[in-house]
Structure 1
Amino acid sequence: MAKKILIAYYSWSGNTERLAKIIQRVTNGKVFAMKVADGTFSTDMFDTSDRAKKQLETNQLPKLVGELPDVSNYDLVLVGGPVWSGEVSTPVRSFLQQITPSKTKLAPFYTDTVSADSYEKDFKHLVGTSQVVKGLGLTGSDWDTAEKAVVDWSESF
């Protein structure tokens, strides 16, 4: 039986959306784009980083716009986002707080300009007892081999 896959992602710059589209082509999963209200973040990377740090300090994560999918309808939920200060971005944190995965497996995918630092460790911490499978991260120099990386990764689940 084929796995029912949800690809849920937040993309600030467009890179994570680009990766999500490659994943969708390879897995034929359903795509859900996380959105935040206009003005939540700046188009400036440094200002956005400052806003996200403030959100974490005050425990005021951004609200996601629109209805969230019922993740219990899927065998696997691939959760994607940009790496912010080496960790999971605040919109993805908000998504993870709002879903109830039950027996659904989760896997992170993420994009970063240089290094993901402790992204997967942070992701596992955020989802608690949920089963997490190996993630996939791409840096700015990985786009030439992204499709192959996604195919290889998809074979692990």
Structure 2
Amino acid sequence: MNKREFLKFTGISLLSLTALTLGCGNDKTAKADAPAPEVKQNTNKGASQNMSTNSKKILVAYFSWSGNTKAVAEEIHKQVGGDIVEIVPATPYSETYSVTVAKAKAEQAANARPAISTKIADFDKYDVIFLGYPNWWGSYPMPVATFVETYKLDGKTVAPFFTHGGGGEQRCLSDLQKLAPNAKFTQDLVLSGSSAKSSQAQIKSWLDSLQL
């Protein structure tokens, strides 16, 4: 099954296909020799004032294979402002679903740390990190582990958000907390891949509840 065919089955749990949950959508995969992802600054004057009134520096960082987590990240960025950056593996994952499933399983079994091309010049300036990714094999995609260990989250407020294909949260939050034990975690947001692109109200409700 290629990626285009996979997108037709947005409501199907990927746990039924050996427990890997990937969000559905149309994601543009970066090339290995592409320039590092740019940290995009907010230009939306209508963003929520929840955090700007406290003068907190915000970064929305996300990993997305299919496009669902990207859609959620962009909506969060739209509502809260701050900067946004994609976590991009230096070697792109295949657009063929079964190939990516197998690679993700092998990486998790090996506790791998795939190289990423994402570069953030002044990470220390951020107070709040919105960190999002899809549920892969019940946990985080391994490029996320590379990101967390490269850009230390010690002392940061981390607001996690996850997408899934039917498996829910599973260990997405607990494994992240183990990876960054010195960060302060908020309540997480968990969305199904099929609802990711129409979840504006749910995202707003979550953001309001955080009271950051």
Instruction: Report the TM-score when normalising by structure 1.
Output: 0.89
Residue 21 (str. 1) matches residue 66 (str. 2):
no
User: Corresponding residue for 1:132?
Assistant: 185
Residue identity over aligned pairs, in percent, reads 28
Deviations 1:34-78 (A, max 9, x none): 11124x411122321211221223333211014235332111001
Aligned to 1:53, which of 82, 88, 105?
Answer: 105
Residue 89 (str. 1) matches residue 141 (str. 2):
yes
Matches within 5 A, 1:1-20: 1-20=54-73
Structure with greater Cα Rg: 2
User: Corresponding residue for 1:103?
Assistant: 155
Residue 34 (str. 1) matches residue 109 (str. 2):
no
Residue 123 (str. 1) matches residue 183 (str. 2):
no
Unmatched runs of 5 consecutive residues or more in structure 2: 1-53
Compared CA separation, residues 144 and 48, structure 1 to 2 (3 A): closer
Return the alpha-carbon distance in structure 2 between the equivalents of residues 98 and 150 of structure 1: 28
Unmatched runs of 5 consecutive residues or more in structure 1: none
Return the alpha-carbon distance in structure 2 between the equivalents of residues 153 and 42 of structure 1: 33
Aligned to 2:124, which of 64, 72, 82?
Answer: 72
| Conserved 8 A contact 2:69-2:196 | no
| Conserved 8 A contact 1:70-1:99 | no
Return the alpha-carbon distance in structure 2 between the equivalents of residues 85 and 56 of structure 1: 8
- Quote how far apart the aligned CAs of 1:145 are: 5.2
Greater share of strand:
1
Number of aligned pairs? 156
SS in 2 for 1:51: helix
- Quote how far apart the aligned CAs of 1:11 are: 0.8
User: Corresponding residue for 1:146?
Assistant: 199
Runs of 4+ in 1 over 4 A off after TM superposition: none
SS in 2 for 1:31: strand
User: What is the CA RMSD across the aligned residues, in angstroms?
Assistant: 1.8
Corresponding letter in the other structure for 2:122: D
Instruction: Report the TM-score when normalising by structure 2.
Output: 0.67
